[in-house]
Structures are given as structure tokens and as C-alpha cells.
Amino acid sequence: MATLDRTDVGLRALHLLEGQRMAQRLFAHVLDTQVIKPGRSEEEVDNRIALIAREVFGVRAGRVRRRFVRSWPNTVVGGSWPERVIGAQDLVVLDFESLLAPYETGFARTVALGDAPVRRRLVHDLTAVATGARDAFRADGSITGRELYAKVRALAARAGRSLAARHCGRLTGTAPAPHAEATRPEVFICAENDRPLRRTLEQGCRAHWILQIHLADEHRGHAVVHTELLDLV
């Protein structure tokens, strides 16, 4: 496996940060211009976001096109995501990962429309779990994937929630791995990964991680998502 020089390593980190900051600006722009409205279809909002990304930020959707916008009940992980019209009290997930594919990074947020306290509370709990996960990562320089996953599960349980995925993050910022390698536990923040998250990879570069929190309210069929860079910001 080829080893990256110091310049390549630095450029990869900057590339990840650039994608993350672009996603944050795009998300703020989408909220400020009220692109997400009840009565609009997911496809319509999807197309509006793609247009904004292209015209304002110069970003085009990657070749592998995936929906940016999912509203309840399409928020559930693993769902078939049929087309639907956004409702007045919906949870709406904005996932810009396919838009940011050239940057090898990920960004997702969940917005609660309307004033339904149950759904707003779920989004609040999601933010609290994501903040706690980041704090735990920063507090322990040798934390392993298994340890951080356990902390995230405990944070979710404390809020009366459960994780809706088998991991809460993944490796990013490296050359694409073969499918067999991409399923190895050390590339995820999961219960099976007993390796330190802060480590040097075989290519000679530092490991960079995406935090991916999927919380579920199993009684009501709701799911919310929070995705962002973990270690560079």
C-alpha cells in the first residue's frame, strides 16, 4: 500500500474541513430561506437544495445520487424511502453526504417542523448525545471505537432512546477501501472495534472520523440523524 507524504496528509485534512464548512453554510442557508416547508414534496426540496448548492457554493451532486431530504416516516434507517409530501409536524432529515461525495466527508441534521413536543424533544436529545460523544472523544486521547460506542449507547439510554444503527461513526478521508475492508470493524466506531481511534493508518496518515448518531423512538416509529466530522473540528 502506498504511503502518503506530509503534503498529501495535510491536503486530505483540509479537504475534509472544506467539505464540512460548506455543508454547515448550506444547511444554514436552507433554514434561512425556508426551503423546507409543509406541502412540498421531498423531491421538490431535494431539487431546491441541489440548485442552491450548485449556484451559491459551486457544488454538484456526486455521480452516485442519493436523496438529501427524508421526512417522517422515511427517516427510519433502512427504510425504502417512498416519495412523500412533507407534513406540518414532520421530522425532516437533511443528509448531504452524497452531495459532498468528492470531499469524502459527511453531514446530516434533523429538523422538527411544527410544535409537537415529542418530536422536538427527540431532536434535542439527539443534539445532546452528539455533544456528549464529542466531549468523550476529546477527553480521552486513547479512546477506542468500542469505548466511544459504549459511551454513546449510555448517553442515548440516559435520554430514554436507543441507537438505530450498529455503529455511531466511520473512518473517512482515505482512499476508498475494497468492499471486504470497508466491512472490517476497525473502520467503524462500534462494539467490535477495540483499536484506538487516534492512530496512524497503513498509508501513513492520521485516522479521521465521521460521527454518525442515529437515534430511534421505537414506540412512535421516529428516527433522527446527526452526522459530522469528529476529530478535525
For the stretch 123-173, pLDDT in tens is: 999 999 999 999 999 999 999 999 999 999 999 999 989 998 999 999 987
* 29/53 Cα distance (integer angstroms): 10
Q: What share of the chain is helix, strand, coil (3-state, %, to 5)?
A: 40, 20, 40
State residue 63's pLDDT score.
Answer: 46
- Residue with the bigger pLDDT between 175 and 138: it is 138
State residue 32's pLDDT score.
Answer: 95
Question: 36: which 3 cell numbers?
Answer: 423546507
* 227/168 Cα distance (integer angstroms): 9
CA-wise closest residue to 164 among 103, 227, 86: 227
Question: 30: which 3 cell numbers?
Answer: 436552507
pLDDT range class, residue 109, cuts 50, 70, 90: very high
User: What angle, 0 to 180 degrees and rounded to 10, lies between the N-to-C axes of helices 145-158 and 117-139?
Assistant: 150
* 139/129 Cα distance (integer angstroms): 15
Q: Is the pTM of this model over 0.85?
A: yes
CB 225 within 8 A of CB 233: no
Interior angle at CA 62, CA 58 and CA 63, nearest 5: 135
The whole-number average pLDDT for the span 38-55 is 92
Beta strand spans in the chain (E): 69-71, 91-95, 108-112, 162-163, 167-172, 188-190, 208-217, 222-229
CA-wise closest residue to 168 among 194, 189, 150: 189
CA-wise closest residue to 19 among 231, 208, 229: 229
Per the DSSP assignment, residues forming a β-bridge with 158 are none
* 181/58 Cα distance (integer angstroms): 33
pLDDT range class, residue 88, cuts 50, 70, 90: very high
Report how far apart the first and last C-alpha atoms of the chain are (Å, whole number): 28
Task: Name, in order, each residue with C-beta under 8 angstroms of 78's C-beta and a sequence gap of 6 or more.
Answer: none
Q: Is residue 212 pLDDT above 80, yes or no? A: yes
State residue 93's pLDDT score.
Answer: 94
State residue 9's pLDDT score.
Answer: 60
Q: Is residue 114 pLDDT above 80, yes or no? A: yes
- Residue with the bigger pLDDT between 219 and 210: it is 210
Return the percentage of the chain with pLDDT > 70, whole number.
Answer: 83
Task: Name, in order, each residue with C-beta under 8 angstroms of 157's C-beta and a sequence gap of 6 or more.
Answer: none
State residue 117's pLDDT score.
Answer: 93
Per the prediction, the chain carries an average pLDDT of 86
Return the percentage of the chain with pLDDT > 90, whole number.
Answer: 58
